[in-house]
Amino acid sequence: MKKIQDFKLKTYQWLNDENYIFTLQSEEDIEAVEAGMFAEIEVPNASDVFLRRPISVLDVDYDNKSLSFYIKAIGKGTRKLGTLQEGDPISLIYPLGNTFTIGNIRSALIVGGGSGIAPFVMLGRELKEKGIKTTFLLGARSKEDIFLTDEFAKYGEVCVTTEDGSLGEKGLVTQHSLFSDGSQFDKIYTCGPDPMMKAVARIAKERSIACEASLENMMACGFGACLCCVTPTSDGRNLCVCTEGPVFNTQELAWSI
Ligand SMILES: Cc1cc2nc3c(=O)[nH]c(=O)nc-3n(C[C@H](O)[C@H](O)[C@H](O)COP(=O)(O)OP(=O)(O)OC[C@H]3O[C@@H](n4cnc5c(N)ncnc54)[C@H](O)[C@@H]3O)c2cc1C
Ligand code: FES
């Protein structure tokens, strides 16, 4: 059930100077969280950051009453969240949003870029538990921007593209040989920059593969009141990403037209 809950900073794991994982611990039990859900995280001690920031749950540990998040520090809020001291209090509204759906599939391709890799640790684990063959395809500018490969490797094969060719195949994710070597997937899941997700959704549509995308639209309230997060649908409606998403069947979105 969605709630406001107090946590304390437990640990940081810095992946490089602008990407980190932080783990927050609570004295209360953790609400049930599923792959794709996110939290609205308060940015403490920041007089110039009023709004909470939406961040996907990277992982959950019910026994230790902790949640972890992977954060790419791109602005005031996400940089400030990287400056807390162990034990500092931090408030979360969670669990928010819907989840990825799995259904009756035998193979899945997960395509992630940037901070969009975060929801795929929990999804990868769930797919493995269900016996679904999973391939992860991660894309970035350079090898310094590729993270969590060891974690994803626990749940499936990991493929990489970098624009400068410093790791994996050179080019964009949609140019990876997985899309031309006859590999078959029953479903594609994607999260990352909009142009990447749109290109992935286009390939899925051309090949009649079911595709779900988790949108990272900018948000303010996080509960359906301000309408700043809306995304248009293929049939002319507008959906709130915070309450009706963030995960959508890409056929439903206007960008699939
Ligand atoms: C459902 C959801 C899940 C998310 N999960 C993660 C996650 O797991 N890890 C993570 O690092 N980030 C995630 N994000 C993105 C994250 O919320 C933004 O990066 C963050 O709010 C930026 O806040 P800031 O104060 O650091 O940047 P600001 O100072 O507010 O902005 C800095 C710059 O980034 C741009 N910007 C701000 N927010 C976004 C956005 N959502 N998309 C594109 N550009 C933006 C601004 O226009 C500005 O140019 C998620 C977003 C959503 C909606
Ligand atoms: S963020 Fe306010 S309606 Fe979605």
Which ligand has an atom closest to residue 242 CA? 2
Question: Could you give the CA distance from residue 68 to residue 20 in angstroms, rounded to a whole number?
Answer: 10
- What integer pLDDT is reported at residue 46 of this predicted model? 83
Q: Whose CA is nearest to atom 7 of ligand 1?
A: 55
pLDDT for res 129:
97
Domains by residue range for the chain, with CATH: 3-96 (2.40.30.10), 107-213 (3.40.50.80)
Ligand nearest to the CA of 59: 1
| Residue 79 backbone zone (phi > 0: left; psi -120 to 50: alpha; other: beta) | alpha
Strands 187-191, 107-113: pairing is parallel
pLDDT digits (tens, 9 = 90+) for 193-249: 999 999 999 999 999 999 999 999 999 988 899 999 999 999 999 999 999 999 999
User: In the structure, what pLDDT confidence band is assigned to residue 141 with cuts at 50, 70 and 90?
Assistant: very high
CA angle 25, 28, 29 (to 5 degrees): 90
pTM as predicted: 0.96
Relative to the CA of 225, which ligand 2 atom is closest?
3
Kindly tell me if the per-residue pLDDT of 105 is higher than 70: yes
State in Å: Cα 41 to ligand 1 middle: 12
**Band of pLDDT at residue 257, cut at 50, 70 and 90:** low
Are the CB atoms for 183 and 135 separated by under 8 Å?
yes
Ligand 1 centroid – CA 218 distance (Å): 6
Q: Which of 218, 228, 248 to mutate to test the pocket of ligand 1 (most atoms within 8 A of CB)?
A: 218
CA distance linking residue 14 with residue 74, whole number of Å: 15
pLDDT at 256: 62
State the chain's mean pLDDT as an integer. Answer: 95
* pLDDT tens-place string over residues 29-87: 999 999 999 999 999 988 888 899 999 999 999 999 999 999 999 999 999 999 999 99
Q: Give the binding-site residues of ligand 2, using a 6 Å CB cut-off.
A: 219-222, 224-229, 240, 242
